[in-house]
């Protein structure tokens, strides 16, 4: 079905408020095109551009993209350097566009371990867009679901030890406040491209009631139409949150 037709099927009143994306398949896309893996990442940036634009246009409030995981450091150094540099360059390149479109840029993850230049670029983009609220583009970078939970646990333990926090006060709401995602709501929809059906240490706590959509398209081939289809698929589901 074409893009226009799919778009007309989306009910603007029941949009997922927060969509999270695992952008998988850049390397395999490059391989099928007989190119080095890095070309897949370059092509992947174009898809990011398209999806951010269409998400904003249809009224998605929060879009989280998983750009670099805590496990990605284990890739060859050349690829790691290339990826981090690509993220740095493109964050800089998009900044005027974020400002023009009133997109607030945020990051989640252990950003303090990233190269200094990248930390500065990310900070600058966050600072210059902090007053915008039409859409949040949330970049998960040096992020891992287990790291997030461990980090929260350590900070809560510090509060107990040093600030007299009461153990009985640790409930789901309090725990969530210590996660990188605070104060964002949990994702309503998770999209993973690239055929694999797994979470790969992305949001673990936050996905408890998220609807999952797996696309067989490699990320560089994922289109606006595929994004609309994922939303239509989401809107056809009945979310019960454990109730009847």
Q: Which residues belong to the active site?
A: 24, 72
Say whether residue 25 binds ligand FPP (CB under 6 A): yes
- Tell me the window of 80-88, 125-133, 157-165, 229-237 that interacts with ligand FPP (CB under 6 A): 80-88
Say whether residue 86 binds ligand FPP (CB under 6 A): yes
CA distance readout (Å), 8 to 1, 89, 113: 11, 35, 44
- Closest CB to ligand FPP among residues 39, 175: 39
Quote the CA–CA distance of 193 and 26 in Å, as a whole number.
10
Say whether residue 26 binds ligand FPP (CB under 6 A): yes
Say whether residue 28 binds ligand FPP (CB under 6 A): yes
Q: Which position among 21, 51, 84, 87 is part of the footprint of ligand FPP (CB under 6 A)?
A: 87
- On whether the CB atoms of residues 170 and 137 are closer than 8 A, the answer is no
Q: Which residues contact 20 (CB under 8 A, 6 or more apart)?
A: 63, 64, 65, 66, 187, 189, 190, 191, 202, 203, 206, 210
Residues 2 to 21: which contact ligand FPP by CB under 6 A? Answer: none
Q: Which position among 6, 38, 90, 176 is part of the footprint of ligand FPP (CB under 6 A)?
A: 90
- Tell me the window of 44-52, 126-134, 146-154, 198-206 that interacts with ligand FPP (CB under 6 A): 44-52
- Tell me the window of 23-31, 172-180, 199-207, 208-216 that interacts with ligand FPP (CB under 6 A): 23-31
Say whether residue 41 binds ligand FPP (CB under 6 A): yes
Residues 173 to 202: which contact ligand FPP by CB under 6 A? Answer: 194
Applying CB under 6 A, the residues found at the interface with ligand FPP are 23-28, 41, 44-45, 48, 67, 72, 83, 86-87, 90-91, 139, 194
């Amino acid at each position: 079905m074409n893009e226009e037709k799919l778009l007309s099927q989306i009910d603007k009143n029941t949009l997922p408020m927060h969509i999270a994306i695992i952008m998988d398949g850049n390397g395999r896309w490059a391989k099928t095109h007989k190119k080095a893996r890095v070309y897949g990442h370059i092509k992947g940036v174009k898809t990011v551009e398209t999806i951010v634009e269409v998400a904003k246009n249809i009224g998605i409030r929060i879009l989280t993209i998983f750009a670099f995981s805590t496990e990605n450091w284990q890739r060859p150094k050349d690829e790691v350097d290339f990826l981090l540099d690509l993220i740095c360059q493109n964050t800089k390149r998009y900044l005027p566009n974020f400002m023009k479109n009133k997109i607030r840029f945020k990051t989640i993850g252990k950003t303090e371990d990233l190269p200094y230049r990248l930390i500065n670029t990310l900070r600058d983009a966050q600072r210059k867009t902090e007053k915008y609220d039409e859409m949040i583009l949330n970049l998960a970078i040096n992020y891992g679901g287990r790291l997030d939970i461990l980090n929260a646990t350590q900070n809560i333990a510090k509060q107990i030890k040093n600030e007299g926090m009461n153990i009985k006060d640790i409930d789901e709401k309090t725990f969530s406040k210590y996660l990188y995602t605070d104060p964002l709501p949990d994702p309503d929809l998770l999209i993973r491209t690239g055929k694999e059906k797994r979470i790969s240490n992305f949001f673990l706590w936050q996905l408890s009631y998220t609807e999952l959509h797996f696309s067989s398209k490699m990320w560089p081939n994922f289109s606006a139409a595929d994004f609309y289809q994922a939303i239509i698929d989401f809107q056809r589901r009945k979310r019960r949150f454990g109730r009847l």
